[in-house]
Amino acid sequence: MTALPERPRRLRRTPAIRRLVRETTVDPAGLVLPVFVREGASRPVPIRSMPGVVQHSESSFRATVLAAADARIGGLMVFGVPVARDPHGDAACDEHSVLAEAVRWARAEAGDALPVIADLCLDEFTSHGHCGVLDADGNVDNDATLAVYRRMALAVADAGADILGLSGMMDGQVAAVRASLDGAGRTDVAILAYAAKYASAFYGPFREAVESQLDGDRRAYQQDPANRREALREVRLDVAEGADIVMVKPALAYLDVIADVSAAGDVPTAAYVVSGEYAMVEAAAAAGMIDRERAIMEVLGSVNRAGARIIATYWALEATRLLARA
Ligand code: PBG
């Protein structure tokens, strides 16, 4: 027998020993389920590129809210899919927008038992699909967009959102929305800033989910995937402007960024396992190429291990079931 001073395999011998020395575990209380609600839908509409995910009708959405509250997951992230769009995304500021109504339904079903995060961005509401309004040259006008975000924030806060998810990547958006909320006496509404959001190919299926009208790309406002340090700059600014939670997005292709952000800050770090990351695993599993459930838990485990305990994932409910069984 070889005399080895260290034999790490001793701690891998049985499932119980492995459980004893496990360094991280995914916490269902940190899992946030993104949901799409389609204005006027009378039944759930499947999303071709996201098998298992739907655009909800009112009743299927209400049932999902109850299931999420029952499962005691971390929260819901609500996206509205409107029927009409215009260049200014005006409907986003309507107190009866599909998003505001969905937030009301969620609050009616779950009260305070389930945090409701409302997406705060214009891309679902604009006829050109950009996250803001355009200037005369067709570029996204940062400061004009902030004025719209300020109004949209009040509409969804009044509907009962606990947290606003600022996903537009406009400069100064956190400060603008914070000032708008505070000016209306809504110091209680929190801000989750998509601080480091990259211009990613992995958002492809989401664009189908919200019927995005985007022609072109978002590289003039979302981050360049090649940049790591820049994420810390975005986080520094968002925290200084009043962000309560900062998010990195996508997750799996940006684990280094998640690790940096969680090490740098003192606000909670979240990460979003986006539509393309979901679709990739689902497609490979459907083709019999990988073990679906193990792959799901490995993806979520890696994001958690990198430093994001709060994880937005389309698998939130299923992962919670898998964790309970483990
Ligand atoms: C835009 C938004 C996007 C996602 C969430 N909010 C798409 C984009 O920036 O193009 C993507 C989420 C996903 O892919 O799951 N407000």
275 lines ligand 1 (CB under 6 A): yes
**What's 14-46 look like in SS3?**
CHHHHHHCCCCCCCHHHEEEEEEEECCCCCCEE
Output phi, psi for 294, to 5 deg.
-65, -40
Residue 19's pLDDT is 96
- Confirm if 79 and 36 have CB atoms less than 8 A apart: yes
Confidence of residue 326 (pLDDT cuts 50, 70, 90): confident
Residue 161's pLDDT is 98
Residue 280's pLDDT is 98
> Using one digit for the tens of pLDDT, what is the confidence trace for 112-165?
999 999 999 999 999 999 999 999 999 999 999 999 999 999 999 999 999 999
Coil, helix or strand at residue 163: strand
Coil, helix or strand at residue 191: strand
Q: Please determine, for residue 42, whether its predicted confidence score (pLDDT) is greater than 90.
A: yes
Coil, helix or strand at residue 135: coil
Q: Which residue has the least CA distance to atom 14 on ligand 1?
A: 203
Residues near 156 by beta carbon (within 8 Å), at least 6 away in sequence: 97, 99, 100, 103, 118, 120, 164
Residue 215's pLDDT is 84
Question: Which of 47, 170, 203 is the pocket-test mutation for ligand 1 (most atoms within 8 Å of CB)?
Answer: 203
The one-letter amino acid code at 47 reads I
Alpha-carbon distance of 121 to 117, in angstroms, equals 12
Q: Structure pTM?
A: 0.97
Residue 231's pLDDT is 98
DSSP 242-295: T-SEEEEESSGGGHHHHHHHHHH-SS-EEEEE-HHHHHHHHHHHHTTSS-HHHH
Is the bond preceding residue 115 a cis peptide, omega within 30 degrees?
no
Catalytic residue among 178, 218, 249, 309: 249
Confidence of residue 212 (pLDDT cuts 50, 70, 90): very high
Residue 277's pLDDT is 98
Coil, helix or strand at residue 106: helix
Mean of the per-residue pLDDT values for the chain? 97
Confidence of residue 10 (pLDDT cuts 50, 70, 90): very high
Of the listed ranges 33-37, 76-80, 264-268, the one predicted with least confidence:
264-268
200 lines ligand 1 (CB under 6 A): no
Q: Please determine, for residue 320, whether its predicted confidence score (pLDDT) is greater than 90.
A: yes
- β-bridge mates for residue 165, sequence order: 119, 192
CATH of 25-219+228-325, one of 3.30.479.10, 2.170.140.10, 3.10.20.580, 3.20.20.70: 3.20.20.70
Catalytic residue among 104, 150, 197, 218: 197
Q: Please determine, for residue 265, whether its predicted confidence score (pLDDT) is greater than 90.
A: no
The verdict on whether 138 is a catalytic residue reads: no
Residue 196's pLDDT is 97
Mean pLDDT to the nearest integer, 28-40: 98
Mean pLDDT to the nearest integer, 193-204: 97
Q: Please determine, for residue 294, whether its predicted confidence score (pLDDT) is greater than 90.
A: yes
Mean pLDDT to the nearest integer, 264-274: 96
Question: 211 versus 156: which is more confidently predicted?
Answer: 156
